[in-house]
Amino acid sequence: MSMHIEILVEDSSGEKLLEAVLPKILGDRGDPHTWRTHAYKGIGRIPRNLRGKADPGKRILLDQLPRLLQGYGRTPGIDAVVVVLDSDCRDCTLFLAELKALAAGCNPLPNTLFRLAIEEVEAWYLGDRQALEQAYPNAKRDVLNRYVQDSVCNTWELLADAVYSGGSAAVKKAGWPLPGQIKHEWAQEIGPLLDPERNVSPSFTKLRDGLRCLAAKGAV
């Protein structure tokens, strides 16, 4: 039985990564499942109440989430919604509880799955060392060897220290838009090489298994 899934992610580099790995998790689009990914312009914060009026034009994900979920809940043909977020420095257990409480207050609520990248989506690149080193053969192994998988350690900065000339210090000195450009490059270069079966990131594994469970059973 086919499903259609709407996937919300906090930025466009995350969207690019998901578009590269989703067919490896769910099969080719339309065979049998379909999905659409939607990139936002930042994570924002969970609204204090479901009736708060966030500006839709700003496209900040958590600010818009109650409105989005209720809209999807009223839309025929949408079987599930998946929300993919960086945990950053948040306590993951508390953050997930807050997200689920927000969802519980939405009426109607679509079948909704929340998944967190710990601490940032770059943990998923670091979870497949083979793909990373294939994309960046000159990556600094000593830096990569320091990484403890899915730890809170300034993940994107560590990856930049491993693969970018001058490291994260050079990226930060240059300032915006370079950090965003670098993250897009990683999604483009590493994303297509990621192997969902090989990836050792626990948070990536939860995304992979959650999506497959959703597609197989229509429930999490």
CB 170 within 8 A of CB 96: no
Tokens linked to 93: 């257990």
**148-192 pLDDT, tens digit each:** 999 999 999 999 999 999 999 999 999 999 999 999 999 999 999
Identify the structural domains of the chain with CATH numbers, from first to last: 4-121+197-217 (3.40.50), 126-193 (no CATH)
pTM metric for this prediction: 0.94
Task: Give the strand order in the sheet containing 34-39.
Answer: 34-39, 4-9, 80-86, 112-117
pLDDT over 90 for what percent of the chain? 90
pLDDT of residue 57: 63
- Of 139, 160, 142, 159, the closest CA to residue 151 belongs to 159
